[in-house]
Structure 1
């Protein structure tokens, strides 16, 4: 899933409009974009959206953190409404995903797939290696600089040239490593300047280069850029097909030759990931 678009859970008109922008996932937000006084109204709005649009759009719910008094009602809303997945903020380790699964089990409902936002506290950085073994309950890991910046007391997460400073580059890098170790999807953080689509494209291409397979979005205009950048090109797909087919033709081979180049197991794994991103069975 390439694009994950946040939509405030208390804005039904925005939810309806967001369905038409091509996002792979709509994240109906019950956390940061909803004021405390609007939480109950937002849950009612989200429940109505799930009833109306479920099956026609991928609808995930960002619940409030596990430590929040709002989590019980958020979870009830998501489970009753049949949400396709949960986005868990302030996750600090794999234990948080297990706790969320246990809360679902206690309600007699299976836990939907979880995207954990795994870098929003200082403690969370030390837990990025603890998510292994949680798939398929855990679908992916993502990260964010804004809450971490507040937790660390940083003046900014980026330098004057727009590059991530040390702590935030580390958080990003550990997220992708943690996701791959857990065999789940690594999803890149939001690009906060909604007017700078060129900057978004550059960051998307860097994320693709490094191995991220999707990106969070906070504005509908960001979705086409994200989808385009994270969709493998026809040439990439063609080469990946040839590699997969070559190994399928000789299952005992550890190395195959294609166009005079020696192709080994890391190439095969990368090719399967490209085909997976393109929606092609490998």
Structure 2
């Protein structure tokens, strides 16, 4: 393969990761037409179709997915080595890419990293909001932030937040002509606000626990979201019961705008951890990010 094609491979990787020419072009800082033409040139030179294009989406072919899985960890390793060289600079520098949920970003990560950005102007942080579980090595991320129970076993994991819980809430108006559920099974006859799981492709089954007994309930309703904050507004507007992180609904409960139900069925569970491959921990910029997020540490 000609040397100039290596840049085309990087562009292909961006499209494969973003699953969109529009998003990939914005990420690379090029026009969408230029990016599309370059990928077609790569496919022609290789004699293989790498991407399947429709009017609404872009997906890798079998060959394209194999190429993506081959490229992503190697590119990540090269980027890591280049970032390590920055240790010789006076100030830590480099880009740290993190995949995390909207709730993790708003409740823990951004509040602690806000001041870091001001103190270290040569550090760039890219946040990718995703409520699914990502393979951070294959997808080119430096780290992920997820609940402790979802962290991959072969990763270094650092706790960055306290235990928390999901709670079921609805507006007083919703319960005006409906019985308040006393048991998770009662939710079956209620209108509920669903959450879509990005990686599993299905709807989240609400998880409850009490006195050692665990239950998973699949609920029904008019609305489905894949982010937490839109669900708050839907619940307050009377569209049903939502199952949400307690910290983002607490003030609405205290104000009487939302009613908390099934409280005794919602125990706390381990909170957020930042996780990453062991080779990332020696990079100066990355160390600063981790230490700022470490639970109980000083940002």
TM class by smaller structure: under 0.3
> Greater relative contact order (Cα 8 A, min sep 6): structure 1 or 2?
2
The normalised TM-score by structure 2 is 0.24
The normalised TM-score by structure 1 is 0.25
